[in-house]
């Protein structure tokens, strides 16, 4: 099928100079080395005034403000130079358009990232993922954790050291599954050598016990009319985004470990280094926190990249 896609994904890279954020650069080089994308490098820095004491003397206050303004300008320009150097290095490996943005930190960083991402219509927020396994971390918060819970923009949690072009999508046979299909087929529509597997654990009463193949075969074999209509919608969304259905393999099976356990086993068995999961609507922090399949996947893998799509 001829590729009809004209819009490139625009990715927001949250960079702070830590080892966790530098892994984002390596991930992009591996996954998008031959793909046209747009990338904005964002660095949020504290304003020098944040560490200053309150001055009551008016003359000294004015003097201090002048000094702080100069210092803020210097810090800002230094951060801009750093991002531009990174973008120049990335241009050697990626056929991408690069933009840089430095913001001073005012208030909560996660809220600042979310606000900036919504204003500029990004297709993903990329963050270097730190530990997510301790329950206390969720309770106490943190930038990454707040983004997982609250970001309306899909979040890519980058972790690990080695990645390939094998993508694993946890397919829910619901509206969430359609959104995941729409998103993944949009992101990879221009990708030439990506391998995508959509994986689903059947309900016990389903008419299929096991299937592995393309969506055309799946539609043909499915007897349940509701499922058949769903898979036809899946196919249409893939094609509408300009992605060939041949690039996506579907694997559906009955499992005994529960959805999370089967997904974990399949990801490890197939050596997928990018896992895509859906996040249900923000009905409440409790729903996500108290054991959803997506939360279990995010908590388990510390050596893979996880995409969380709302």
DSSP β-bridge partners for residue 12: 40, 125
Classify residue 202 by its DSSP letter: P
**pLDDT value of position 134:** 46
- Torsions phi, psi for 112 (to 5 deg): -65, -40
Asked if residue 291 has pLDDT above 50, the reply is no
Q: What is the largest CA-CA distance in the chain?
A: 82
Q: Is the dihedral of CA 54, 56, 57, 61 positive or negative?
A: positive
CA dist., res. 283 & res. 258, Å (int): 23
CA dist., res. 291 & res. 284, Å (int): 13
Asked if residue 53 has pLDDT above 90, the reply is no
Domains in the chain: boundaries: 10-158, 166-309
Q: Please, are residues 280 and 244 in contact by the beta-carbon 8 Å criterion?
A: no
| Residue 111 burial class via C-beta count within 10 angstroms: exposed 0-12, middle 13-18, buried 19 and up | middle
Q: Which of 31, 23, 310, 33 is nearest to 196 (CA)?
A: 31
CA dist., res. 32 & res. 28, Å (int): 5
The mean-pLDDT minimum among 54-58, 144-148, 218-222 falls in 54-58
Tokens (6 digits) for 152? 């309306």
Checking DSSP bridges between strand 248-253 and strand 210-213, what pairing results, if any?
antiparallel
Asked if residue 288 has pLDDT above 80, the reply is no
Can you list the alpha helix ranges (DSSP code H) found in the chain?
Answer: 19-31, 58-91, 109-119, 135-140, 143-150, 175-187, 215-221, 225-240, 258-270, 285-289, 293-300
pLDDT tens digits along 104-129: 887 788 888 999 998 898 999 999 86
Asked if residue 209 has pLDDT above 80, the reply is no
Q: How confident is the model at residue 132 (pLDDT cuts 50, 70, 90)?
A: very low
Kindly state the percentage of the chain with pLDDT values over 90: 45
Mean pLDDT of 53-60: 54
The three-class DSSP label of residue 122 is: coil
Q: Please, are residues 45 and 76 in contact by the beta-carbon 8 Å criterion?
A: yes
**pLDDT value of position 64:** 65
Would you state the torsion angle of the CA atoms of residues 17, 84, 309, 135, taken in this order, to the nearest 10 degrees?
Answer: 10
pTM, rounded to two decimals: 0.86
**pLDDT value of position 199:** 96
Asked if residue 283 has pLDDT above 80, the reply is no
Asked if residue 92 has pLDDT above 90, the reply is no
CA dist., res. 75 & res. 82, Å (int): 11
**pLDDT value of position 137:** 42
Mean pLDDT of 72-86: 91
The segment with the largest mean pLDDT, out of 2-6, 206-210, 292-296, is 292-296
Q: Which of 156, 169, 148 is nearest to 39 (CA)?
A: 156
10-158 falls under which CATH superfamily? HUPs (3.40.50.620)
- The reply to whether domains 10-158 and 166-309 share a CATH topology is yes
**pLDDT value of position 135:** 41
pLDDT tens digits along 216-232: 999 998 888 888 999 99
- Class for domain 166-309, per CATH? alpha beta
CA dist., res. 243 & res. 188, Å (int): 7
The three-class DSSP label of residue 5 is: coil
Q: How confident is the model at residue 210 (pLDDT cuts 50, 70, 90)?
A: confident
Tokens (6 digits) for 200? 């689903």
**pLDDT value of position 227:** 87
- Torsions phi, psi for 73 (to 5 deg): -60, -45
Q: How confident is the model at residue 1 (pLDDT cuts 50, 70, 90)?
A: very low
């Amino acid at each position: 099928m001829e590729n009809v896609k004209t819009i490139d994904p625009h990715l927001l890279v949250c960079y702070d100079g830590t080892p966790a954020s530098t892994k984002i650069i390596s991930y992009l080089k591996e996954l998008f080395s031959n793909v046209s994308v747009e990338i904005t490098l964002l660095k949020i820095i504290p304003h020098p005034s944040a560490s200053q004491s309150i001055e009551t003397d008016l003359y000294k206050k004015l003097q201090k403000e002048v000094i702080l303004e100069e210092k803020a300008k210097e810090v800002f320009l230094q951060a801009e130079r750093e991002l531009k150097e990174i973008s120049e290095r990335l241009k050697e490996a990626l056929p991408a358009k690069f933009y840089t943005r430095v913001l001073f930190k005012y208030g909560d960083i996660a809220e600042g990232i979310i606000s900036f991402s919504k204003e500029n219509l990004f297709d993903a927020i990329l963050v270097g993922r730190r530990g997510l396994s301790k329950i206390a971390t969720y309770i106490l918060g943190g930038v990454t954790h707040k983004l997982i819970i609250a970001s309306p923009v899909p979040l890519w949690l980058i972790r690990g050291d080695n990645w390939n072009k094998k993508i694993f999508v946890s397919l829910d046979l619901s509206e969430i599954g359609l959104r995941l299909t729409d998103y993944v087929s949009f992101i990879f529509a221009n990708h030439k050598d990506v391998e995508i597997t959509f994986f689903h654990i059947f309900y016990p009463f389903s008419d299929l016990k096991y299937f592995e193949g393309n969506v055309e075969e799946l539609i043909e074999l499915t007897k349940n009319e509701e499922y058949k209509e769903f898979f036809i919608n899946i196919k249409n969304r893939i094609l509408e985004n300009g992605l060939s259905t041949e690039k996506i393999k579907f694997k559906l099976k009955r499992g005994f470990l529960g959805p999370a356990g089967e997904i974990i086993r399949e990801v490890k068995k197939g050596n997928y280094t990018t896992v895509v999961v859906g996040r249900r609507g923000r009905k409440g922090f409790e729903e996500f926190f108290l054991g959803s399949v997506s939360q279990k996947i995010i908590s388990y893998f510390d050596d893979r990249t996880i995409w969380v799509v709302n």
